[in-house]
């Protein structure tokens, strides 16, 4: 097994909640689970720490908890980031690329399941970032989507939430196809703010039930 494939397997275990938020990890304890020795496991954990998926303290390693304070900070950063991305992509992307973005948004309708809807939504935002033509904007968006993946998983559990996201993504894409960057940016910001507010409200009201299912929520 390569170090890259080990990192991807551990990363997916965290994103899928197989390794739960707040779970204590040890390099030796992970050896039999992932079939690797301590040195590559330590290297993978260090990469996951940079991605914000694990944390290290005097006791060792732990899967990063769901952190409300971090989510608020990410929401502010993402709004600024995605506003810039939408403006650049509306200016720079070809007509065919924008039609392709609209098709990515529509693909979520055929996805059906929460998992497929989540992946389709992630693909929409990453494709939007790619169309900005700026590698740094894309890398920043990729990092944000990684940190938000687990909480977005909670968000897409209801069909209503999936339908809302589909509609809002389609609005963004339609405005971009019309080359109306102001309307596209407004639609994107409204989508992000609404999603963030609903998620934070849900986490605030569901702390006890989430903890009972092994998902601790920290922060205020």
For residue range 76-103, list pLDDT tens digits in order: 999 999 999 999 999 999 999 999 999 9
All CATH 1.20.120.530 domain ranges of the chain, comma separated, are 67-207
Q: How large a percentage of the chain has pLDDT more than 90?
A: 64
- The pLDDT value recorded for residue 3 is 65
Higher-confidence position of 152 and 25? 25
Residue 66 backbone class (left: φ over 0; alpha: ψ -120 to 50; beta: rest): beta
Closest by Cα among 111, 131, 108, 117 to 177: 131
CATH superfamily of 67-207: GntR ligand-binding domain-like (1.20.120.530)
Most confident of 83-97, 112-126, 161-175: 83-97
Could you give the CA distance from residue 14 to residue 64 in angstroms, rounded to a whole number?
Answer: 9
Q: Is the pLDDT of residue 111 over 60?
A: no
Higher-confidence position of 109 and 61? 61
- The pLDDT value recorded for residue 2 is 74
- pLDDT band at residue 185 under the 50/70/90 scheme: very high
All CATH 1.10.10.10 domain ranges of the chain, comma separated, are 3-64
- The pLDDT value recorded for residue 160 is 84
At 107, list the tokens.
Answer: 């693909």
User: What is the average per-residue pLDDT within 64-77?
Assistant: 94
Chain centroid to Cα 9, Å, comes to 17
Q: Is the pLDDT of residue 16 over 60?
A: yes
Kindly report the number of other CB atoms within 10 A of residue 122's CB atom: 17
Q: Name the least confident of 81-85, 112-116, 197-201.
A: 112-116
Q: Are strands 54-57 and 60-63 parallel, antiparallel or unpaired?
A: antiparallel
Q: Name the least confident of 40-44, 143-147, 150-154.
A: 150-154
Cβ 179 vs Cβ 90: under 8 Å: yes
Q: Which residues contact 195 (CB under 8 A, 6 or more apart)?
A: 155, 165
Could you give the CA distance from residue 98 to residue 128 in angstroms, rounded to a whole number?
Answer: 9
Architecture of domain 3-64 in CATH?
Answer: Orthogonal Bundle (1.10)
């Amino acid at each position: 097994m390569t170090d890259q494939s080990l990192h991807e397997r551990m990363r997916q275990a965290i994103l899928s909640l197989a390794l739960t938020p707040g779970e204590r990890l040890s390099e030796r304890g992970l050896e039999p689970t992932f079939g690797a020795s301590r040195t590559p496991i330590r290297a993978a954990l260090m990469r996951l720490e940079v991605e914000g998926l694990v944390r290290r303290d005097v006791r060792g390693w732990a899967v990063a908890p769901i952190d409300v304070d971090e989510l608020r900070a990410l929401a502010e950063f993402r709004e600024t980031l995605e506003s810039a991305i939408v403006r650049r992509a509306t200016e720079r992307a070809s007509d065919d690329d924008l039609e392709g973005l609209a098709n990515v948004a529509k693909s979520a309708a055929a996805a059906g399941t929460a998992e497929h809807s989540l992946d389709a939504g992630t693909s929409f935002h990453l494709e939007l970032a790619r169309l900005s033509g700026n590698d740094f904007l894309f890398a920043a968006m990729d990092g944000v989507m990684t940190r938000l993946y687990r909480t977005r998983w909670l968000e897409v559990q209801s069909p209503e939430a999936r339908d809302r996201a589909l509609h809002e993504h389609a609005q963004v894409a339609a405005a971009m196809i019309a080359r109306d960057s102001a309307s596209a940016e407004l639609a994107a910001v409204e989508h992000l703010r609404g999603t963030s507010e609903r998620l934070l409200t849900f986490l605030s009201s569901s702390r006890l039930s989430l903890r009972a299912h092994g998902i601790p929520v920290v922060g205020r």
